[in-house]
Amino acid sequence: MKVKKMVIIYTILMAGFFFLLVRPWGTKETELHNMVYYNEQKIRIEQEIVQGKALEDIEREYGCEIFFVTEDNYNIYLNQALQKEALILDYMEGEKLTGKIVWSQREIRYQKLEKELLYKGICVWVLLLVGGYLLFFYLYLQFLRPFHTLEQFARQISKGNLEFPLPIKKRNFFGAFTESFDIMREELKRARESEYQANRSKKELVAELSHDIKTPISTIQATCEVLEVKEKNQDTLAKVAVIAAKAKMIDELVGNLFHATLEELAVLKVETVEESSLVLEEMFQGLNFYDNLVMDNSVPPCLVFMDKLRLQQVIDNIINNSWKYSGTEIVVTFVEEEGGILIKIKDHGNGVNPEELPLLQEKFYRGGNAKGKSGTGLGLYLAGMFMKQMQGGMEYYNEKGFVVELFLRKV
């Protein structure tokens, strides 16, 4: 049960106890009278005696006792009344003392006692209420709050946040207990750091090996190019072509592995600078190997933010994908907008399955039309990452083919 609920229940119980405490006094209508009141009562009694009203009726009506000096037990009654601290007034007939009118002070004393008891009861109730709250506060500080802190600590650790500190109070009953948990957090943190460093070392090794493998592959490709020029034997040329194709495939796979490893190592950095938008024409013209790349209009001249190397990688990847999956003419359109330049790259193929569109930028994802074609599913993922780091953006959709839009922000 939560502390808040316990305090509310305790407050309700104490309120009920207070109601029961004051209810008996609250339902009584008591009145204490002064001497003026009793003198007025004495005059009325004397008048009613003179009128001949029965003593029993008078005593019952006024709540008093009347005895006369002529009674045998007069002195005894008088002494008893004095012992009881009763209020005694003289009953006079003219100038002559005839008797006594006695009002008992017992009720007055009881009323005073009841008031004193009520006052003391309220004092005890206040002490119990304040003491209860102090007890709850003490229990919360010493027992419940440490467990609440441990609960938050465990939740943060389960989320992987090993930087979440666990305060340790040595005077607390659970000081050693919480210290053990904090030691566990430090050990987990050290273990995670060691694991991260080990994985980083492995990835750095893979990146170095991938880079080193590219050198002999380049040599094989260069040799194949020389043989294709000099060799006349068709059978030999066919075998050289097979070697060149396999070398190209290995080069692409190693390149993808190299890029993926560098990206995870945060080595693929983007250095955005101010560049003229006219360099975009050069980038696209350099990719028009098969004369099927059409630039629909000229590039609007302005300054934009870009990293030429990374932007060239993005454009290369998109153009190569269009050739690989559509094999159609590719149209490039440049649109100047208020905030920058929009580059629209469109082919006339079958497009992408609408269900697969949201997944194209996921790392290592390849669509259903990628079967039998080389690739690792990193191209659009890296392209989207590069465009975002260049303060731009990338979108893609189907429109009688597949369309990719790149946005470069103006300076």
Label residue 5 by pLDDT band (50, 70, 90): confident
Residue from 338, 329, 340 nearest 402 by CA: 329
Check if CATH label 3.40.50.9100 holds for domain 273-409. Answer: no
d(CA 118, CA 310): 87
The pLDDT tens digits of the residues spanning 295-343 come to: 889 999 999 999 988 898 888 888 888 888 888 899 999 999 988 999 9
pLDDT of residue 26: 47
Residue 118 has a pLDDT of: 78
Regarding predicted confidence, which is higher, 135 or 305? 305
**Greater model confidence, 39 or 118:** 39
Measured between alpha carbons, how far is 186 from 180 in angstroms, rounded to an integer? 10
Return the closest-CA partner of residue 256 out of 313, 181, 329, 330: 313
Q: Is 149 left (phi over 0), alpha (psi -120 to 50) or beta?
A: alpha
Q: What's CA 319's distance to the chain center, in Å?
A: 44
Poorest-pLDDT segment among 30-34, 103-107, 306-310: 30-34
The token duo for 328 is 């159609």
The pLDDT mean for the chain works out to 79
CATH C-level class of 178-264: mainly alpha
This model's pTM is above 0.75:
no
Residues forming beta bridges with residue 217, ordered by sequence position:
none
Tens of pLDDT, residues 173-228 = 555 566 666 777 777 778 878 887 777 777 766 766 665 676 678 778 878 888 88
Q: Where are the domains of the chain?
A: 35-104, 178-264, 273-409
CB 381 within 8 A of CB 297: no
